[in-house]
A = this chain, B = another copy of it.
Amino acid sequence: MLTYTNHFDTKTLDPFTLEKGFEAVRYEAASGEVGYYHLPISSQPLVEELKSLYHDIDRRFNTIAIIGIGGSSLGIKAIERLLRPSTPNAKKLIYLENSDPISIMQEMKQIDKFRTLFIVISKSGGTVETLSIFKRLVVSFELPLDHSDQIYVVSDENSILAHFADEHHLRRFVIPSNVGGRFSVLSAVGMVPLTLAGFDTAAILKGAQTFLEQFWNRQEEHMLQKAAYYVTQSDQYPMNVLFAYSDTFEEFGKWVVQIWGESLGKRNRRGERVGLTPISLIGSVDQHSFLQLIIEGPLNKTVTFMHIEHSEDHLMIPELSLHYLEKSDFVNGKSFNELINAQCHATMQSVLQSGVSVDEIAWKQIDEASVGELILYYELLTSLSGALLEINTYDQPGVEIGKKILETQF
């Protein structure tokens, strides 16, 4: 369970705005228009099915290669990075995402074709990077297609990729049609690779579901406040910084950037350009980089501080005093975990003092339930904000033009 604190002034927020956000997402969920709200429950049978496959997979493969980009990789990477330290025996995951030839070659070198399960993930089924890389793998590793039990496909029910999978009798998993790519990590997109790798996905779903129930029961009002504050202040604060104090949040930050940026950067009903710009930072590293800009630069950002109360508490800063270096002795005998938490709190205080709007998300420790909760938190926050911005949170019309231009270049 995470703890959420809004340090900004919530008194001036219009109660009607809060209700408007809540009612909008309740309608999305109840009407079935938007599917991600149902995944924490609807994905449970899928996870059970995957667990029944696990023993066979585990005997045969030690690596899972994920061929997917954007919504088909970011969420998987985010969860893997957060849970890998506590799940060290999970299978190796390799990501083939970008059309960058340097990366593709590097990742391909790591693949043992006899010990690798290939999972091709694309919601639309037509993603050019994914299909091009898949074809490269088929040719380079001489992968047989028909009845292959080392190629799985995750896609929309009626996509071209689904038809391809069926023609070759490949195992296929469905992304519900009302679940958008960037909201799909708790669908087959994330559940298939992560469960087969050995992560406890059932516990992730449970954490997500618990939080969702609390939200529907109006026990998470801080979210309504935050969405309302962000949206009504978006002219003054067009940027939202997530300052997370652990390197293991790096991929999670990229997932947040996608869901926030791509969902909320839109034309609204009146055709006006609206949106909030997400920025992901890692503490304490970015105290040595971006912090100066937050504190003394223009007051155009809100900042969310995130920290973990207990993380490898046993790794201590030694009781060692070195001549000339006594300046740092004030942390002797403390754990690195205490140091990084103290750095987070000190930085948060200095940011607050500089007049910046701040909120805070505190973890007790990193575990599956908390990861599921945080995913739902950011998905709900995005939906609430989109409703208040009066946009379609779930499409991405702006990226279609570039795809059309691309086709004309060959």
Chain A residues packing against B (C-beta within 8 Å)? 69-71, 74, 85, 97-106, 125-126, 128-129, 131-132, 135-136, 138-139, 145, 160-161, 163-164, 167, 181, 238-239, 245-248, 254, 257-258, 261-262, 264-267, 273-275, 277, 279, 282-285, 287-301, 311-313, 315-318, 320, 322-325, 327-328, 330-332, 334-337, 339-340, 342-343, 345-347, 349-351, 353-354, 396-399, 401-403, 405-407, 409-410
Contacts and interface: CB of A to CB of B under 8 A. Distances in A.
A349 B402 contact: yes
Given A103-B247, A296-B397, A290 B258 contact: yes
Given A100-B245, A265-B294, A327-B160, A320 B399 contact: no
Contacts of A296: 265-267, 273, 275, 397-398
B239 A69 contact: no
B322 A290 contact: no
B136 A330 contact: no
Given A262-B288, A342-B409, A346-B406, 19 more contacts: A99-B339, A101-B313, A101-B335, A101-B337, A105-B312, A135-B317, A136-B336, A160-B327, A167-B324, A254-B289, A265-B297, A266-B296, A273-B296, A277-B293, A277-B300, A345-B409, A346-B409, A350-B401, A350-B405
A95 to B, nearest CB: 10
A109 to B, nearest CB: 11
Contact of A247 (B98, B328, B349, B409): B98
A288 B69 contact: yes
B257 A277 contact: no
Nearest to A129: B284
| Interface residues of A, dominant DSSP | helix
A401 B350 CA distance: 6
B312 A102 contact: yes
B265 A139 contact: no
11 contacts: A71-B288, A97-B285, A99-B284, A101-B340, A136-B316, A138-B318, A160-B325, A295-B398, A330-B407, A346-B403, A350-B398
A354 B315 contact: no
B311 A102 contact: yes
